[in-house]
Amino acid sequence: MKLSTRVRYGLRALTELASSGGEGPVMLDLIARRQAISRKYLDAIFARLKAGGIVTSTRGAGGGFHMARDPEDITLLELYIALEGPLNLVDCVSDDVRCDQKEHCAAISIWRGLGKVMEKYLGALTLADVVRMKRDVEVKASNMFYI
């Protein structure tokens, strides 16, 4: 299983936004440049994040995006759902998908179980956790010495 670029780039962009420390709105151009993500793609990502209640925006001069809530209160599961919808590893686990094999399928319980494990893991991690991880990585990288 692979995560979509929307989720991967969304997490990178949100980490950048949350790292700004809430010092006012951040322009998408800045995030795009720092994270090497297309501005057009970020527009689509942030539209979903805004609809999901994760970010808000301010228009006009000095406008941009800011976190709608504290990063400590935003789980990675919320981020995933805002960008991709419910975490269903395969379509057949969804209640609204008809499958003739559902009643006889041994694998469906495996896919549901794996989905629950992933939901639990992503639900336990917050955006603030990722910001701390980012800072730890940056500190380690700045302490590297080359001879």
pLDDT digits (tens, 9 = 90+) for 64-109: 999 999 999 999 999 999 999 988 888 777 776 677 777 788 888 8
Decide if pLDDT at 118 tops 90.
yes
Residue 32 token pair: 């795009």
Confidence of residue 22 (pLDDT cuts 50, 70, 90): low
Signed CA dihedral, 14, 15, 18, 20: sign only: negative
The percentage of the chain sitting over the pLDDT mark of 70, rounded to a whole number, equals 94
Give the model's pLDDT for residue 32. 95
* The 3-state secondary structure of the chain, one letter per residue: CCCCHHHHHHHHHHHHHHHCCCCCCECHHHHHHHHCCCHHHHHHHHHHHHHCCCEEEECCCCCEEEECCCHHHCEHHHHHHHHHCCCCCCHHHCCCCCCCCHHHCCHHHHHHHHHHHHHHHHHHCEHHHHHHHHHHHHHHHHCCCCC
Residues in the chain: 147
**Which token pair is 108?**
């469906």
Instruction: Say which residue, 80 or 138, is predicted with more confidence.
Output: 80
Is pLDDT above 80 for 135?
yes
**Token match 């504290």: residue?**
70
Domains of the chain: 5-142 (1.10.10.10)
Q: What pTM value is reported for the model? A: 0.86
- The mean pLDDT value for 26-54 works out to 95
Q: What pLDDT is recorded for position 20?
A: 84
Of 61, 14, 19, give the one whose Cα is nearest residue 37. 14
The reported pLDDT for the residue numbered 144 is 66
pLDDT beyond 70 at 132: yes
Q: What mean pLDDT value characterizes the chain?
A: 89
Q: Taking a C-beta distance cutoff of 8 angstroms, is the pair 134, 15 a contact? A: yes
At residue 145, the pLDDT reads 63
